[in-house]
Amino acid sequence: MNQQSVKAVVKELVQRACQLGANDARAIFASDISVDDNLANLCQERQCEYYGLSVNCPPNVTGPSGFRELLKNYEHAIIFKIDAPTEVLLSDNRHKLFRQLHEIAVGIEQSAVEMGYRNSKAYAGGSCKPLFCQEYTSCRVLTEGGECRYPRNARPSMSGFGINVSKLMQTAGWSMDRIIRETDPNVVSMGMLSGLVLIG
């Protein structure tokens, strides 16, 4: 890969992320991405109601070990974020933001592919099942062996691979309060959603 052209490409992709609706985006090195098995374990059935319901979620993804192997093929990545009020993140309106997150990730990936980086891969957050296939009983890939219904919208969640999002945010210089069900919006007023695109 030509180092000079990669520099130009990642710079353009950072701008592209913001055009697509991200509040900020940064170019990072793939070596800045850390993977933690314990984080992937949090997806398990008792923790997430969507565990196993999509081909993009555990146990249907390659998980931390597969991601570590994949990462060896990449040198560069883009991370981006969407800032959002805690109140929205804790309400049903969060689904709209999560859909936007997936779509920005796909948009960056597609731009990278168009610029010749055909192995670029996007990751978002949240299961695609409730975001895009809510009205369907099941994920088409899992039950029919067919194509994803929303290939231009849905991407795997970072969680299922154990990607350490907090560390990524620190690398980007973004301070992040983790929003959980019990978070009081009067104490923590803003949170963020984030996505990652490997460029290669």
Longest dimension (CA), the chain: 49
> Cα angle vertex 77, ends 17, 95, to 5°?
50
CB of 75 to ligand SF4, least distance (A): 28
CB of 140 to ligand SF4, least distance (A): 4
User: Of 147 and 182, which has the nearer Cβ to ligand SF4?
Assistant: 147
User: Of 56 and 111, which has the nearer Cβ to ligand SF4?
Assistant: 56
Closest CA to 165 of 16, 42, 7, 74: 42
Peptide bond preceding 59 in cis form (omega within 30 of 0): yes
CB of 74 to ligand SF4, least distance (A): 23
d(CA 16, CA 107): 8
Residues that bind ligand SF4 (CB under 6 A): 54-56, 128-129, 132-133, 139-141, 148-150, 154
Q: What six digits make up the tokens of 62?
A: 């390659």
User: Of 133 and 163, which has the nearer Cβ to ligand SF4?
Assistant: 133
User: Of 25 and 133, which has the nearer Cβ to ligand SF4?
Assistant: 133
User: Of 148 and 169, which has the nearer Cβ to ligand SF4?
Assistant: 148
CB of 38 to ligand SF4, least distance (A): 25
191, 115 Cβ separation under 8 angstroms:
no
d(CA 80, CA 17): 7
CB of 141 to ligand SF4, least distance (A): 5
d(CA 3, CA 1): 6
Residue 134 carries which DSSP code?
A: T
